[in-house]
């Protein structure tokens, strides 16, 4: 009887929130097997008896049979790499770009105001300056050669018209038939030689223009990328130097280590771009010398043969450089070729 009484009854322990006994607080334990076991926290629940005081409650231990409503957890939500959306990735890229742009803009302004230092490779900078100067000079040569070609084309047109006029007068003036005929043939010959010279000049213009607008321009694009890498390198170098001058404690050391990592990344990028530009400039110089050597010989020989009246030498020059003389109206196919 006594064992059954103890097994069915609940142990009542009056407690309060500060440890004092109170009749309103009761600790109740349901019936358990005679063998003692550890308290299972998953089978416990806490309920509050809201009577007169908000500090009192009843703690019940035992199998919970009610329905558990999950309470929302507060705090920061950390997403794993697999759950990151493209929008979050784009936002992270924009954030990194903004930081990088700010640092580079600050570096450029400090250099222009004379307050910041910049990394300079004297030998490479000299080569870049020479290349940009040569590009301007080559563009001026192309412009002048194009003007010469336009003027020569106008002269050829005038010569053809003058030759036709002499030929017409030769037929209508029997007493001056031979004299008008000689002049008509001379003007037509000059016009024909002018077409040959014009083909050589246009070939010269096209080759030099390709050298300037494609080969040199491609190298200048790499140079711009190198210069931007230099600005990035100097920006992160300056940032690291400023952090190293400050205090070193638990707050600043992570920032210094992160800045050191970023500095190392942009230093490697700068050195890689510098080496690429050096190689590009070397190959460009070799290609430039080869192209201009041939084109200058072509231009000289064609001009000299034209003004010397050496038609055979002029035609030989075009054959030497594999230049085909364009026949007026020869670009458009005939009706039979189209059909």
pLDDT tens-digit readout, 10-28: 444 444 444 444 444 444 4
pLDDT at 316 over 80: yes
Predicted confidence at residue 202, as pLDDT, reads 95
Nearest alpha-carbon partner for 194 in 303, 296, 297: 303
Lowest-confidence pick of 43-52, 120-129, 200-209: 43-52
Nearest alpha-carbon partner for 206 in 47, 324, 54: 324
Confidence tier at 29 by pLDDT (50, 70, 90): very low
Give the tens place of pLDDT for each residue, 85-102: 788 888 888 888 888 888
pLDDT above 70 coverage of the chain, percent: 71
Predicted confidence at residue 339, as pLDDT, reads 36
Q: What is the mean pLDDT of the chain?
A: 77
What is the homologous superfamily of the domain 146-322 according to CATH?
Arfaptin homology (AH) domain/BAR domain (1.20.1270.60)
Q: In this predicted model, which residue has the larger pLDDT, 176 or 16?
A: 176
Domain ranges within the chain, ordered by starting residue: 146-322
Give the tens place of pLDDT for each residue, 284-293: 999 999 999 9
User: What token pair was written down for 308?
Assistant: 């010397």
Give the tens place of pLDDT for each residue, 216-239: 999 999 999 999 999 999 888 888
Give the tens place of pLDDT for each residue, 35-52: 444 434 344 333 333 434
Confidence tier at 327 by pLDDT (50, 70, 90): low
Q: In this predicted model, which residue has the larger pLDDT, 339 or 275?
A: 275
The phi, psi pair for 52, rounded to 5°, reads -100, -20
Q: pTM of the full predicted structure?
A: 0.65
């Amino acid at each position: 009887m006594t064992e059954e009484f103890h097994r069915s009854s609940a142990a009542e322990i009056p407690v309060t929130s500060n440890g004092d006994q109170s009749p309103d607080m009761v600790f109740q334990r349901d019936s358990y097997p005679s063998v003692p076991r550890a308290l299972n926290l998953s089978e416990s629940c806490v309920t509050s008896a809201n009577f007169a005081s908000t500090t009192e409650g009843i703690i019940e231990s035992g199998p919970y049979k009610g329905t558990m409503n999950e309470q929302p957890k507060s705090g920061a939500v950390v997403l794993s790499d697999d759950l990151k959306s493209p929008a979050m990735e784009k936002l992270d890229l924009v954030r990194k770009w903004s930081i990088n742009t700010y640092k580079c803009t600050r570096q450029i302004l400090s250099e222009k105001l004379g307050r910041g230092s910049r990394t300079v490779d004297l030998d490479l900078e000299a080569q870049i300056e020479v290349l940009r100067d040569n590009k301007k000079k080559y563009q001026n040569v192309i412009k002048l050669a194009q003007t010469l070609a336009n003027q020569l084309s106008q002269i050829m047109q005038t010569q053809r018209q003058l030759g036709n006029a002499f030929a017409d007068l030769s037929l209508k003036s029997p007493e001056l038939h031979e004299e008008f005929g000689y002049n008509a043939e001379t003007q037509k010959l000059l016009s024909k030689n002018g077409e040959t010279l014009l083909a050589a000049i246009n070939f010269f213009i096209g080759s030099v223009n390709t050298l300037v607008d494609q080969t040199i321009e491609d190298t200048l694009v790499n140079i711009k990328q190198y210069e931007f890498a230099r600005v990035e390198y100097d920006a992160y170098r300056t940032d690291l130097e400023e952090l190293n001058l400050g205090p070193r404690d638990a707050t600043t050391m992570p920032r210094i280590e992160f800045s050191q990592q970023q500095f190392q990344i942009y230093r490697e990028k700068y050195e890689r771009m510098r080496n690429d530009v050096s190689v590009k400039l070397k190959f460009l110089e070799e290609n430039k010398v080869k192209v201009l050597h041939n084109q200058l010989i072509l231009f000289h020989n064609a001009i000299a043969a034209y003004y010397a009246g050496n038609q055979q030498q002029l035609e030989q020059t075009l054959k030497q450089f594999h230049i085909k003389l364009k026949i007026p109206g020869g670009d458009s196919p005939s009706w039979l070729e189209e059909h």
